[in-house]
Structure 1
Amino acid sequence: MHAGEHDQIPEIALAWHQEGRGAALATVVETWGSAPRQAGSQLAISRDGQIMGSVSGGCVEGAVVTEAIDAMEDGTPRLLSFGVSDETAFAVGLACGGTIRILVEPIGEGGQRLPDATLSRIVEARAKRRAIAYAVNPELCSRNLLEPSDDPVVDARFRSDKSGMEEDGRFISIHNPPLRLIVVGAVHIAQPLLTIARACGYDPALIDPRAAFGSAERFPGETIVEDWPDEALSALRPDARTAIVTLTHDSKLDDPAIRIALTSPCFYLGCLGSTRTHAKRVARLTEAGFAEEQIARIHAPVGLDIGAKTPAEIAVSIMAQITERLRKG
């Protein structure tokens, strides 16, 4: 599997269907105990048995593929259950104590299939970095798509990034845009910060107009933008799934980025610097016309107060604060 393909399961399933290869989507809708994959995990299956993704880390994939191929033939979804009391689960090595339910939906038109038009809308929203949720009642095979603010219950799932079953029998599959971290300042702290962010599932970008700082040698494999920070941020268009951190200690570089960030819907803005440095920053922003509530969005000094000293420890504290903001609001 190429890098990133595990996050492209709806796209792969749609492509297989459009190529005439037949396709089905298997989705973990419920788990108990030590199930190896969380709700929302998906597996794409083609008619010839090719698979991409995972619903159990390899434990029950074989049985799911067999059911998916049958579902493509008769157009009827399957709601499968596997657990330690199930002989099939024992045979394929399901983790001790784990139980999972998996919804298998053949893609296409007619009958109870998952309409390719619905899947196309999901793929289109994902391509445009627009949050969308797929709601399906596995028992009734009723389906609809929801966006943020359509449903308070679903909104809570958007915020927590968590797919799952609701009491009304619906399974809500959350498709949030990928998380992004934009770092202004190719300083030492940025090196471990980008690495940690990527490990946490973020797509990082580094902004620094100083070529000697933001070099590929210092940041191998990273996206580096050498434009002035306000121009670079405007082009990157931070959204509600974006965190921004400024690290340069130079107001000529940090301030233009902060001004753009404060007018964006980014969910986190953190700025390196002491309490005294931040007080001067607040004064400059106030003079520039920013309101007190806007300036209050800034986390400064950046990071959780865990006594961090080294660049790597400071990066950990920053990533911890970003996570806290994302998950707790």
Structure 2
Amino acid sequence: MKLDSLHALNAERAARRAAVLVTDLDDGSQRLVREIEISTDPLADILSRRLASGKSGLVEAEGRQLFLNVQAPAVRLVLIGAVHISQALCPMAAALDLSVSVIDPRTAFATPERFPEVPLVPLWPDEALAGPLPPLDRYCAVAALTHDPKIDDPGLIAALKAECFYVGALGSRKTHAARVGRLSQAGLSPEQIGRIAAPIGLDIGAVSPAEIAVSILAQIVSTLRVARPHAAKSGVLA
């Protein structure tokens, strides 16, 4: 890798932004395509699919052999609520190499005994996301699971403003309708609120906490891995 490409790639890594290093195997030339530039690149479709998969590899384009070195930030999963669903979700997410943390100001629920080896933040979400936890970004998934608007809503607002790639909330359609009203009053746009997966998870008929956890995790993976158009100006994933 050329030194200037390495410096540029390291800058994107440090900022938790994705990039693809394109190497022409015929002549050895290289160029770095930042995520925000993908939509205007001649290889936009190929780069989008590769970035969605998170995998590097060989491709052929216009009769040339190219190696695409995909660099994407590690995905973080932030759970709002130390509930039974969260207990089931944490080990499943860890098995997929997701970095998981749980926020819940209710210290009776957020205990190491209930969440062994899981980072717990016993603060209100707005406090947790402004301090102990790293800032949310577009490589974060946030799931609000408490059913308590005082806890869930601040986490949802922060996630939507940070353009997290996945934002989900537990509750019925009636519950979500009330939530939409609150979030609208909080100043979020219909487009922002429309990004919330609610009721949360894929519709697999889940009934137990573990089954609901499976449906949520499947929806997160589906959202992450489906290639989407990249906005040239904002770089928004979805």
Q: Distance in 2 between matches of 1:119 and 1:283?
A: 47
Q: Which residue of 2 aligns with 1:231?
A: 127
Q: Which residue of 1 aligns with 2:78?
A: 182
Q: Which residue of 2 aligns with 1:281?
A: 179
Structure 1 stretches of 4+ with a deviation exceeding 6 A read none
Q: Distance in 1 between matches of 2:77 and 2:95?
A: 12
Percent same amino acid among aligned pairs?
45
Q: CA RMSD in A?
A: 1.8
Q: Distance in 2 between matches of 1:137 and 1:259?
A: 43
- Map Cα deviations across residues 201-223 of structure 1 (whole Å, 9 max, x no partner): 21111111122211111111111
Q: Distance in 1 between matches of 2:10 and 2:187?
A: 40
Correspondence 1:154 to 2:50:
no
Q: Which residue of 1 aligns with 2:32?
A: 145
- Report the more deviating stretch, 150-159 or 261-270: 150-159
Higher relative contact order (CA closer than 8 Å, sequence separation 6+): 2
Check the 8 A contact 2:201/2:219 in 1, yes or no: yes
Correspondence 1:327 to 2:225:
yes
Structure-2 change in CA distance of 1:134 and 1:292 (3 Å)? same
Which secondary structure state, in structure 2, belongs to the residue aligned with residue 149 of structure 1?
helix
Within 5 A, what are the aligned runs for 1:30-109? Answer: none
Which secondary structure state, in structure 2, belongs to the residue aligned with residue 293 of structure 1?
helix
Q: Distance in 2 between matches of 1:165 and 1:256?
A: 43
Correspondence 1:246 to 2:144:
yes
Instruction: Choose which of 17, 22, 28 in structure 2 pairs with 1:135.
Output: 22
Equivalent residue letter for 2:91: T
Q: TM-score, normalised by structure 1?
A: 0.62
Correspondence 1:191 to 2:191:
no
- Map Cα deviations across residues 277-329 of structure 1 (whole Å, 9 max, x no partner): 11111111122232221111111111111111111111000001111111225
Q: Distance in 2 between matches of 1:174 and 1:282?
A: 37
Which secondary structure state, in structure 2, belongs to the residue aligned with residue 144 of structure 1?
strand
Correspondence 1:125 to 2:12:
yes
Equivalent residue letter for 1:187: V
Gaps of at least 5 residues in structure 1 are: 1-113
Which secondary structure state, in structure 2, belongs to the residue aligned with residue 192 of structure 1?
helix
Q: Which residue of 2 aligns with 1:31?
A: none
Equivalent residue letter for 1:165: L
Offset, 1:242? 0.9
Offset, 1:188? 0.8
Q: Distance in 2 between matches of 1:244 and 1:140?
A: 44
Equivalent residue letter for 2:128: A
Instruction: Choose which of 46, 68, 78 in structure 2 pairs with 1:172.
Output: 68
Q: Distance in 2 between matches of 1:195 and 1:135?
A: 35
Equivalent residue letter for 2:101: A
Q: Which residue of 2 aligns with 1:256?
A: 154
Question: Larger radius of gyration, structure 1 or 2?
Answer: 1
Equivalent residue letter for 2:219: Q
Check the 8 A contact 1:178/1:203 in 2, yes or no: yes
Q: TM-score, normalised by structure 2?
A: 0.84
Correspondence 1:298 to 2:196:
yes
Structure-2 change in CA distance of 1:290 and 1:172 (3 Å)? same
Q: Distance in 2 between matches of 1:290 and 1:139?
A: 50
Q: Which residue of 2 aligns with 1:90?
A: none
Gaps of at least 5 residues in structure 2 are: 229-238
Structure-2 change in CA distance of 1:124 and 1:149 (3 Å)? closer
Equivalent residue letter for 1:154: L
Offset, 1:119? 3.5
Equivalent residue letter for 1:312: A
